[in-house]
């Protein structure tokens, strides 16, 4: 590879959708010269596809919601139907976006496909997400739309009391928009989706990209049932107990019921199930294996982001070559670190910190 080709390659790594004229302007050469270099690099197999995807470049695509999180927490025991003195703060959130940021902070190359409004919240979220290391070139800012907003209320122990979400903008995260990013998705090492997406959008993803390793986050009990038609095409599913019960429709009254629910998912085609059970740990289940992974000791400050950090840890660990159980221990470390910070995402999380946290946990 020539020095000029290397310069062009570095620009493409930063933005796989960069236009040839933009490359020419940055390198002070003609657009036609850029075209010749790109053609030669394509022949050499250095790049591939219409989006200038770099051969053997491992990255993850996350398709899901991003929104403004507004969090309220009282200083003392929560009193219903009254004003509770406490603290209110806002930060960038959304299940898909949170997973993407956790992945980026762990060191994974991650590309986010989502939408925000052309408002102050949208600008703030885009800036915070980019600063965290997430590639946001496929995030679309929709004119005359309000950025998705999630309002949650915790008790003074950090557990959720109630939440309200306005995610109407996600109707724009549709098949028409995703069709612009087919090559980006097709060349990903893993694809993560959440059930904030519409039924039509989920159907498109699981049909169009059925050969990809697709990880699915169930999001909430109200949205989890959207996953049911696609279970046989899910590489990895991460629900909590309530979400799993909502999808399966089975009773949840005893430990035996938990085993029955886990079996139900495997019988319906899920390849890997990580059933999160809070303080009781994570139940890992495949066709041939099962194990209960106990949680790490933790002082809960904010329970909102643990699930997002956990799934990010699973994907990061599996792409790094860890076994499923090793990845589950790593993910549990991610969740513990997330639980100990007031923000939905602990800004201090990184691979080394997680490894240090779990070094005394047997795998």
220 with 315, same domain? yes
217: in domain: yes
19 with 74, same domain? no
List, for residues 72-106, the tens digit of each pLDDT value: 999 999 999 999 999 998 889 999 999 999 999 99
363: in domain: no
163 with 47, same domain? no
Strand order through the sheet with 290-293: 135-142, 110-117, 60-63, 190-194, 214-217, 236-238, 272-276, 282-285, 290-293
139 with 233, same domain? yes
Average pLDDT over residues 44-64: 76
Which residue do the tokens 């959008």 mark? 201
List, for residues 132-148, the tens digit of each pLDDT value: 999 999 999 999 999 99
134 with 205, same domain? yes
What CA–CA distance (Å, rounded) separates 170 from 117?
10
DSSP 279-336: GG-EEEE-SS-EEEEPPPP---S--TTHHHHHHHHHHHHHHTT--HHHHHHHHHHHHH
Which residue do the tokens 């097709």 mark? 186
The total domain count for the chain is 2
10 with 74, same domain? no
50 with 167, same domain? no
73 with 153, same domain? yes
Written as six digits, the tokens of 199 are 């039924």
97 with 14, same domain? no
Global pTM reads: 0.81
Query: Hey, is 194 helix, strand or coil?
Result: strand
- How far, in Å, are 284, 291, 303, 320, 327 from residue 258 at the CA level? 12, 13, 22, 30, 22
30 with 153, same domain? no
> Whole domain around residue 43: which residue ranges?
3-54
Answer whether 96's CB lies under 8 Å from 62's CB.
yes
DSSP classification of residue 195? T
121 with 139, same domain? yes
């Amino acid at each position: 590879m020539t020095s000029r080709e290397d310069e062009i390659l570095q620009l493409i790594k930063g933005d796989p959708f960069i236009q040839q004229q933009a490359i020419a302007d940055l390198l002070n050469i003609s657009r036609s010269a850029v075209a010749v270099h790109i053609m030669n690099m394509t022949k050499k197999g250095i790049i591939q596809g219409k989006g200038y995807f770099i051969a053997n470049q491992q990255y993850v695509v996350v398709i899901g919601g991003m929104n403004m999180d507004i969090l309220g927490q009282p200083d003392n025991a929560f009193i219903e139907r009254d004003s509770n003195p406490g603290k209110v703060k806002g930060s960038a959130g959304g299940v898909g976006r949170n997973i993407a940021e956790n992945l980026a902070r762990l060191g994974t190359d991650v590309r986010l496909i989502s939408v925000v409004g052309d408002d102050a919240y949208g600008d703030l979220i885009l800036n915070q997400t980019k600063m965290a290391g997430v590639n946001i070139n496929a995030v679309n800012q929709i004119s005359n739309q309000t950025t998705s907003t999630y309002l949650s209320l915790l008790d003074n122990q950090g557990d959720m009391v109630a939440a309200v979400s306005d995610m109407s903008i996600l109707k724009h995260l549709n098949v028409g928009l995703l069709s612009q990013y087919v090559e980006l998705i097709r060349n990903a090492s893993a694809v993560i989706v959440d059930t904030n997406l519409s039924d039509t959008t989920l159907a498109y993803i699981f049909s169009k990209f059925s050969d990809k390793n697709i990880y699915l986050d169930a999001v909430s009990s109200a949205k989890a049932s959207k996953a049911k038609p696609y279970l046989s095409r899910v590489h990895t599913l991460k629900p909590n107990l309530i979400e799993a019960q909502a999808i399966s429709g089975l009773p949840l009254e005893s430990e035996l019921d938990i085993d029955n629910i886990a079996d139900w998912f495997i019988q319906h085609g899920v390849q890997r199930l990580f059933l999160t059970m809070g303080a009781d740990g994570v139940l890992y289940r495949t066709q041939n294996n099962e194990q209960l992974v106990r949680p790490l000791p933790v002082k809960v400050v904010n329970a909102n982001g643990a699930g997002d950090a956990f799934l990010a840890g699973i994907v990061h660990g599996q792409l790094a070559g860890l076994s499923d159980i090793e990845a589950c221990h790593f993910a549990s470390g991610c969740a513990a670190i997330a639980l100990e910070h007031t923000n939905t995402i602990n800004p201090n999380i990184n691979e080394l910190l997680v490894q240090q946290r779990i070094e005394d946990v047997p795998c």
